[in-house]
């Protein structure tokens, strides 16, 4: 075979091989890029230590996981773990649902630019894990449009097997993200509980921890103490109620809050801890205040009142009587 012809054949074979190697690498790079721009999630909730939400119409919200895995907002408020969990669920389990058409893609990008929510997800050492732009929900509410920062393609994203739009999980007002527990006080941390019904001193009382037993006395010196011994089991059961009681709604935005708090509450509960911290909770009848219903001041029938307002010293909440009614026992109940 002619030497030049042999060299030409070798050159052609090497060129073909190089092309296939290049084409394979190009396809792999393209697939890798597609995979990256569709990867909206972090592998595990345990990797997420900080979430920053930046909305066009409000100040950024910083959610940070502290020691004990509790979430805090803006380094000030305890967060509602359930509501934060809804965000974390999206950030760890969301999947691509579909690719919008080219015409729709431009419209969706404009929406993200003007009304989008920027979600930044950070790890334990402050490393940025994900940066996601959340757009509008799909018209049928079966998913939400999202764009990963640094990429051009918008995708429709869903939670498999759950369905539903996802944007609302990231655009709640601050009060919806805050923890709504009124009491989380273990019985062994409580030194005393004073329950005062302002319309009925005969029903009011104070329970004190005396070490091995509990003592209960009327709040008013004019009310005679019961001659019998108090039922210690009833007292302990009652104090256990304060271990976990949560509100229905944080209601600081109530337009008549100032006038409400100038009125006499139907009940004030003062809880003293063994570490000497004291906190006071004032309760008002919600229906009597809001709907001008017949006021029910008597603690004997609290279960029939639908809701209460409660002021914790800083915040105003609404609570359901079906949940909180059990802490409004009357003094004779403990005998």
How far is Cα 105 from Cα 335, in angstroms, rounded to an integer?
A: 71
E runs forming strands in the chain: 50-55, 61-65, 71-73, 77-78, 95-98, 117-122, 128-137, 144-148, 155-158, 181-183, 190-197, 205-209, 214-218, 245-246, 249-250, 267-273, 278-285, 307-311, 316-320
Instruction: State residue 6's pLDDT score.
Output: 64
Same domain, 284 and 222: yes
Same domain, 312 and 192: yes
How far is Cα 169 from Cα 87, in angstroms, rounded to an integer?
A: 6
Instruction: State residue 8's pLDDT score.
Output: 60
* Structure tokens given for 154: 């918008």
Average pLDDT per consecutive 10 residues, the chain (335 residues; last block may be shorter): 62 58 47 68 95 90 90 95 95 94 90 96 96 94 94 94 91 93 96 97 96 94 93 97 94 92 96 97 88 50 69 95 94 95
Instruction: State residue 163's pLDDT score.
Output: 80
Instruction: State residue 290's pLDDT score.
Output: 78
Instruction: State residue 37's pLDDT score.
Output: 83
For residue 169, is it within any domain? Answer: yes
For residue 38, is it within any domain? Answer: no
Residue positions counted in the chain: 335
Instruction: State residue 25's pLDDT score.
Output: 45
Query: Last residue of some domain: 129, 157, 177?
Result: 177
How far is Cα 163 from Cα 141, in angstroms, rounded to an integer?
A: 8
For residue 19, is it within any domain? Answer: no
* Structure tokens given for 146: 């999202």
Q: How far apart are the first and last CA of the chain?
A: 115
The range of the structural domain enclosing residue 53 comes to: 45-177
Query: Last residue of some domain: 140, 160, 177?
Result: 177
> Quick one: DSSP state of residue 264?
P
Instruction: State residue 28's pLDDT score.
Output: 46
Same domain, 320 and 213: yes
How far is Cα 36 from Cα 139, in angstroms, rounded to an integer?
A: 26
Query: Strand 307-311 to strand 50-55: parallel, antiparallel, or no bridges (unpaired)?
Result: unpaired
């Amino acid at each position: 075979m002619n030497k030049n012809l042999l060299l030409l054949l070798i050159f052609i074979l090497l060129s073909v091989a190089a092309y296939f190697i290049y084409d394979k690498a190009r396809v792999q790079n393209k697939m890798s890029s597609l995979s990256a721009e569709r990867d909206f999630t972090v592998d595990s909730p345990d990797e997420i230590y900080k979430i920053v939400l930046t909305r066009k119409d409000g100040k950024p919200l910083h959610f940070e996981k502290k020691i004990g895995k509790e979430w805090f907002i803006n380094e000030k408020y305890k967060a509602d773990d359930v509501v934060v969990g809804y965000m974390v669920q999206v950030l760890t389990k969301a999947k691509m649902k579909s690719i919008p058409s080219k015409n729709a893609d431009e419209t969706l990008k404009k929406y993200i630019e003007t009304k989008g929510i920027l979600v930044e997800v950070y790890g334990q050492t402050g490393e940025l894990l994900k940066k996601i732009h959340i757009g509008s929900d799909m018209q049928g509410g079966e998913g939400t449009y999202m764009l990963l920062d640094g990429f051009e393609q918008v995708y429709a994203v869903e939670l498999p097997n759950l369905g539903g739009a996802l944007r609302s999980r990231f655009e709640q007002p601050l009060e919806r993200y805050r923890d709504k527990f009124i009491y989380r006080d273990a019985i062994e941390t409580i030194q005393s509980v004073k329950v005062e019904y302002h319309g009925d001193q005969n029903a009011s009382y104070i329970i004190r921890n005396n070490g091995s037993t509990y003592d209960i006395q009327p709040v008013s010196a004019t009310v005679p103490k019961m001659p019998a011994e108090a039922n210690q089991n009833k007292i302990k059961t009652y104090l256990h109620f304060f271990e976990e009681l949560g509100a229905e709604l944080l209601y600081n935005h109530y337009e008549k809050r100032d006038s409400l708090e100038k009125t006499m509450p139907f009940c004030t509960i003062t809880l003293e801890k063994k570490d000497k911290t004291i906190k006071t909770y004032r309760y008002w009848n919600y229906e009597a205040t809001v709907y001008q219903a017949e006021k029910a001041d008597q603690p004997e029938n609290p279960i029939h009142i639908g809701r209460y307002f409660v002021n914790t010293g800083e915040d105003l909440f609404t609570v359901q009587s079906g949940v909180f009614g059990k802490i409004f026992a009357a003094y004779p109940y403990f005998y």
